[in-house]
Amino acid sequence: MVGAARSLQRAGQQRGFTYIALLLAVAVQGAVLAATASVWHTAQKRERERELLFVGEQFRSAIRAYAQTGPGTAGQLPATLDDLLLDPRFPGTRRHLRKVFVDPMTWKAEWGLVRTPDGRGILGVYSLSPEKPLKTANFRPADRAWEGANSYSEWKFVYKPQ
């Protein structure tokens, strides 16, 4: 009978140890998941930055193509982004851009527009995101002005006529 009582007493002590070990395991898993989520978030943001750089360059190239072509209106800039999708200066279908891209930072097809001084033409676009960029250096020579930018809205993809 005394042996049975000791056996029950030891079993109770072991259950307490198992409970503590389980709590510790859950805490460690939580910490690992938090660290993984942080790394994943940073990787996602870097990927969205690369996408923004690609999309912005597409807009810049489309504005350049629009300005450099046209029946007797070379140098004219688009009045709207839709003019890049279907150039109204040509009788047929002329596209400088296939679609108005979604801003990868805001997930909206809304862009800030850099207009000409008279406000009639579009020189470039920029993201409306107020987020601080991860990339702050090592830009292409044409984009060196973005170094040290405090938000993505400072990354202006502007066509500069020569």
On whether residue 7 sits in a domain, the answer given is no
On whether residue 5 sits in a domain, the answer given is no
Instruction: Tell me the mean pLDDT in the region 46-61.
Output: 97
Q: How far is CA 94 from CA 33, 87, 98, in A?
A: 50, 5, 10
As a whole-number percent, the residues of the chain with pLDDT over 90 amount to: 64
Name the pLDDT band for 92 (thresholds 50, 70, 90). Answer: confident
On whether residue 4 sits in a domain, the answer given is no
Q: Nearest 5°: phi and psi at 101?
A: -65, 155
Residue-number span of the structural domain to which 134 is assigned: 46-158
On whether residue 26 sits in a domain, the answer given is no
**pLDDT at position 38, please?**
86
Instruction: Name the most confidently modeled range: 39-43, 68-72, 150-154.
Output: 150-154
Q: Is the pTM of this model over 0.75?
A: yes
As a whole number of angstroms, the distance between CA 120 and CA 27 comes to 60
**pLDDT at position 12, please?**
53
Burial class (CB in 10 A: 0-12, 13-18, 19+), 97: buried
5-48 tens-digit pLDDT:
565 565 555 557 888 888 899 999 998 888 888 889 899 999 99
How many folded domains does the chain comprise?
1
On whether residue 22 sits in a domain, the answer given is no
- Is the pLDDT score of 63 beyond 70? yes
Contact present, 65 and 56 (Cβ < 8 Å): no
On whether residue 131 sits in a domain, the answer given is yes
On whether residue 3 sits in a domain, the answer given is no
What's the whole-number average pLDDT of the chain? 89
Name the pLDDT band for 70 (thresholds 50, 70, 90). Answer: confident
95-109 tens-digit pLDDT:
999 999 999 999 999
- Is the pLDDT score of 153 beyond 90? yes
- Is the pLDDT score of 121 beyond 60? yes
Q: Closest by alpha carbon to 103, among 139, 61, 53?
A: 53
